Structure 1
Amino acid sequence: MMTIYLQAQQLLAAIEVELKNAALWNEIPPSVEALASTTPFCIDTMAFADWLQFVFLVKMSKLVAMQMPLPKNMAIHPMAAEAFQHLCADTRQLSVLILAFDQLLAPKSD
């Protein structure tokens, strides 16, 4: 049985690949000021795809690598659906992966 950390690591890697496939990967990181935003998804300082790359992937990868407690009820997919609807890129697979990540971290009912 795969641990939640292994599943999360695989999804994070797949999200990175899909960001690159959709040409949403940015080689230039946001400024320190942009990263310091306290607005959800740093929406006031960067594009959602940049938030995924430079905030979400970085922070979640660290938590997974150190096997720290993972957040519950992330609910990133609704924001992704909103942010991606205006893009020309094909983001369907990226949306599927983000939804899978949300579902992985959702509390399980026994």
Structure 2
Amino acid sequence: MTTYLQVQQLLIAIEAELKSQSLWNEVMPSAEALASTTPFCIDTLHFTDWLQFIFLVKMKQLVVMQMPLPENMAIHPMAEEAFKSLTVDTRELLALILSFDQLLNKKN
């Protein structure tokens, strides 16, 4: 299985898990919020919104266009920290994010 296919499957699973845990936002953040240059847009977005509106969108574009994928992923530590305040079960989402990090770090 190609890395692109594996990435695509993980992106679909992350999206599904965000939705199943009611962490999917139907309202897009403002253009200003999305334009933040702070890592994970932490100054303007909730981490789950960053996942949905920045990470998933950009990664899907890379896969569709068969562009080079990032080689050093470290989303999981941020996800662990960001999810501490949530009351929903984020174990599956964290596992998917960790799998994503490991997949792209392994391809080096």
Q: Which amino acid aligns with 1:57?
A: L
Q: Which residue of 2 aligns with 1:69?
A: 68
User: Scaled by the length of structure 1, what TM-score is found?
Assistant: 0.96
Q: Which residue of 2 aligns with 1:41?
A: 40
Structure 2's unaligned 5+ residue stretches are none
Deviation sequence 1:88-108 (CA, Å, 0-9, x none): 011100000000000010045
Contact 2:76 2:98 survives alignment (8 Å):
yes
User: Scaled by the length of structure 2, what TM-score is found?
Assistant: 0.97
Once superposed, what is the RMSD of the aligned Cα atoms?
Answer: 0.9
2:55 is paired with a residue whose SS is helix
2:103 is paired with a residue whose SS is helix
Percent identity, aligned pairs only?
A: 72
Residues matched between the structures, number: 108
Structure 1's unaligned 5+ residue stretches are none
Q: List, as ranges, runs of 4+ consecutive aligned residues in structure 1 with deviation greater than 2 Å.
A: none
